[in-house]
Structure 1
Amino acid sequence: MSYPPDPNNPYGQQPPAAGYGYPQQAPPPVPGYGYPQQAPPPMPGYGYPPAVPQTMPGLVTTARVLLFIVGGTQVLIALGCLIGAAATKDAVNKSGASSSDFISSIGDAAAGILVVVGIVFALAAALSITLGAKYGKGGNATRITTIVYGSIAALFGLLDLASGVSQGITVSIIFGLLWVAICVIWITAMCTQDGVNWFNRPRY
């Protein structure tokens, strides 16, 4: 017959102490002490590149359309200048004036000026159309070229506007204001963040 152990008996069987041959339950892991933690979601604008635009931004598209319109207008002006130069030269030849005549000299000078102006407008038209065509696949060089082109063109527009205001020529005032506004659109479209992202986007 067995008796329960007396807890006051120092020679009796003692209950097993925790930690001596018996497994203990591991404490729950504390985050940050050797255990991986879930990475926080990335925050946009903190070390991450901006979103790549998939389509051409609206203001960049407007600048492109204006480049094509201006380029077409410049082509027409160039053709008009060259035709006018040829017509002036032909009129001088038909007038029967000698090469030393004053009328002949004036006619030749006018024809020469028209030819030069026509060539300048033809080159400007080529640049406008080429820039507009490169907006689809062009890189940062296209953007910088547009800024330089718009800045130089805006300077001529301001000069024409100042001349029209000083002389009271309404046509020059209207043309100068319109031309400066177009140039401002070109420059602004290239300097906005959307424009910068568009021309700096990766190409595969």
Structure 2
Amino acid sequence: MSFGDQNNPYGQQPPQGQPGYGYPQQAPQGIPGQPGQPYAPFPQDQGGGYNGAPYGQPFAMPGLTKAARVLMYVIAGVHVVLAGLFATAIAAIDDAVEKEGSGGTVRTANGEEVDVDTVIDAGKGVIAFFVLLAAVFAIIGIILAARYGKGRNGVRVGSIVYSSFGIISGLITSVMYGLGLVTLVASILVIVFAAKRASSEWFQRPRY
């Protein structure tokens, strides 16, 4: 008797759910390498990189980090303007001395007489120091902001320290120029944005 004889009531039928003899067996689903079968991705192919991005896909800079970088450029730009204003003040002093002339003495609060030229030179020296300080501060800010794309955690820490000094600079220059208020507000925002977790993860992201 044969397995395929339908008229034989005692014929043995192949067990249900199992292929008969000569029938091609199917490979289990999800096993890579079997022809004709769909590939089941491994868990790491579903994501799991920075912010859930697939592995190998470039990371995108968070919005808060981008805002901090823009504000760093703003702070640096303000100090470039301040350096120009201080330099203009020195030039104005020189013009005034040239027109009005110099010489003579002035009496200080202690009753001492001091040469006018000495006072003028001292004042110009102080202003020149602020010119140099503002220029250096602007250069440091530009360098830090330019490193936001490839820099590591040191750039983030440096931005926080830089903005801390920016707050002091804003408080001082706000008395003389309104631009100091811009520096003050921008410096506070940079500290807040750079301290956020998203910014920390960006600068500590793995490099491939």
Band the TM-score falls in, shorter-chain normalisation: 0.5 to 0.7
Query: Quick check: 1:139–1:199 contact (8 Å CA) kept in 2?
Result: yes
The CA distance in 2 between the partners of 1:96 and 1:180, in whole Å, is 39
Tell me the residue number matched to 2:161: 148
* Amino acid aligned to 2:164: S
Aligned residues: 151
TM-score normalised to the size of structure 1?
A: 0.61
Please tell me whether the aligned partners of residues 75 and 183 of structure 2 are also in contact (alpha carbons under 8 angstroms).
no
> Which stretches of structure 1, 4 residues or more, deviate above 6 A after TM superposition?
none
Counterpart in the other structure of 1:187: 191
C-alpha change, 1:197 and 1:128, in structure 2 (3 Å) is same
The corresponding residue for 1:96 is 101
Q: Note the residue ranges of structure 1 that are not aligned, 5 or more in a row.
A: 1-40, 43-47
Compared with structure 1, are the counterparts of its residues 155 and 118 closer, same or farther at alpha carbon in structure 2 (3 Å cutoff)?
closer
CA contact (8 A) 2:78 2:183 kept: no
Runs of 5+ in structure 2 lacking a partner?
1-42, 107-114
Give the Cα–Cα distance (whole angstroms) in 2 for the partners of residues 96 and 71 of structure 1.
37
Contact preservation (8 Å) 1:131, 1:142: yes
Is 1:56 aligned to 2:69, yes or no?
no
Instruction: Please give the alpha-carbon distance, in whole angstroms, between the structure 1 residues aligned to 2:63 and 2:138.
Output: 23
TM-score normalised to the size of structure 2?
0.60
- Offset of residue 146 of structure 1: 0.6
Measure, in 2, the Cα distance between the counterparts of 1:180 and 1:97. 38
On the 8 A contact 1:88/1:110 being kept in 2, the answer is: no
Q: 1:133 to 1:99 in 2, by over 3 A?
A: farther
Structure 2 residue 140 is the aligned partner of structure 1 residue 136: no
Describe how 1:17-166 pairs up with structure 2 within 5 A: 51=51, 54-98=59-103, 102-157=115-170
Asked if 2 retains the 8 angstrom alpha-carbon contact of 1:60 and 1:195, the reply is: yes
Aligned to 2:10: none
Amino acid at match of 1:184: I
The structure with more radius of gyration: 1
> Which one-letter code corresponds to 2:146 in the other structure?
A
User: Residue 115 of structure 1: CA displacement?
Assistant: 0.5
TM-superposed deviation, 1:125: 0.5
Task: Give, in whole Å, the separation in 1 of the partners of 2:189 and 2:63.
Answer: 12
Q: 1:69 to 1:90 in 2, by over 3 A?
A: same
Distance, in Å, in 2 between the alignment partners of 1:130 and 1:93 is 39
> Structure 1 pair 155/96, CA: closer, same or farther in 2 (3 Å)?
closer
Contact kept, 8 Å, 2:76 with 2:137, in 1: the verdict is: yes
Percent identity, aligned pairs only, is: 31
* Alignment-derived partner of residue 20 in structure 2: none
Cα deviations by residue, 1:11-33 (Å, 9 ceiling, x for unpaired) = xxxxxxxxxxxxxxxxxxxxxxx
RMSD, aligned α-carbons: 3.2
